Amino acid sequence: MKLVIAKDTDKYFGSQLRELDFPLEILAIDPEDSSNPSWDFIPECDAFFLSYQFLFAIRDNHELFEPLLNLTKRMKFIQTGYAGMDDPFCQAMLNESDAIIANASSIHAIPISHYVFSQMLRWNKRIDQHIELQQEKNWSPMGGDGELTNKTLLILGYGGIGKEVAKLGKAFGMNVIGIRRNPEVCEFADQVVTMDSLEEFLPLTDFLVLALPNAKDTDNVINKSVLEKLNNSAMLINVGRGNAVNEQDLANALDKDELAAAALDTTKVEPLDSSSDLWKAKNCFISAHDSAHSLLGLPRAFQLFMENVQNFKENKPITNLYR
């Protein structure tokens, strides 16, 4: 089998590939330089590990877009190192490459779930206020609730990320409700229901976590009507896609104290425009879509690639098959 991977990936993980029990030819290329070695001369290959390094390279140098797209057209199987497939390059690849494609859905669920709980605890334990008091050299004990026990956690989008959030929620003694298209029994949730039950649980919710994909039926599902039904002490955290939230409605709700706080790791347009009211909305924390970052992300994605290389060779089902 002929495999294409990034040079850095080969440096750190290539030895694991070479331990597989069938012959391999590994072509290691530089994601930032399409002439090193020349991507144009790479023949048709069996598999390509499309890691984040390639997308970062395209972002920094758009001239690499077409050479990389042409490279994907000569692949039989492509494993991405990320879950989302809605960026311009992946959309072009889906349209123009005939390769079997798998994503890395859920490999980032652990760091994303940790982000969710860091935001919950940051708000619940009044961390920002403590920092301000320290800067003022002001020794003033803070009141407040202080723990997550018995709080209601409503997770909208109960897939891999949602389940990892639920797992932590149960560890903290929370009441966990998951919402998904097709309800299922899950050991980490007290209930899993459909979207039809959303309004029933909104008034009871302390933390509303969004882990929704970018799709037409998720556009603006969080809007003025939904926010009005949440109790005003609730916090909203979005780690899915920005299309799910009507951003002006959210900013208004925060500024009117109709919602206590929000943490957004994703917005409709990224980067968020400087004119957006979210930047200055009350108790709104914004991060640059980096909740998935983890030093363990690439090893997890590469392990999935190795498993799927074997699956592809042996004509077995591909894990996380996208199309």
Dist CA 98 CA 104 (whole Å): 19
Dist CA 223 CA 76 (whole Å): 43
Dist CA 273 CA 279 (whole Å): 9
Buried/exposed code over 216-228 (b: 16+ C-beta within 10 A; e: otherwise): eebeebbbeebbe
DSSP states of 255-298 = HTTSS-EEEES--SSSSPPTT-GGGGSTTEEE--S-TT--TTHH
Buried/exposed code over 310-321 (b: 16+ C-beta within 10 A; e: otherwise): ebbeeeeebebe
Are the C-beta atoms of 83 and 213 separated by less than 8 Å?
no
Alpha carbon distances (Å) from 85 to 90, 102, 186, 214: 5, 10, 27, 9
Which of 270, 307, 314, 323 is an active site residue? 270
Closest CA to 191 of 180, 178, 203: 178
Q: How many CB atoms lie within 10 A of CB 69?
A: 16
Which of 108, 241, 247, 300 is an active site residue? 241
Which of 108, 180, 289, 300 is an active site residue? 289
- Active-site residue, 18 included: no
- Active-site residue, 19 included: no
- Active-site residue, 181 included: no
Query: Which residues are designated catalytic?
Result: 241, 270, 289
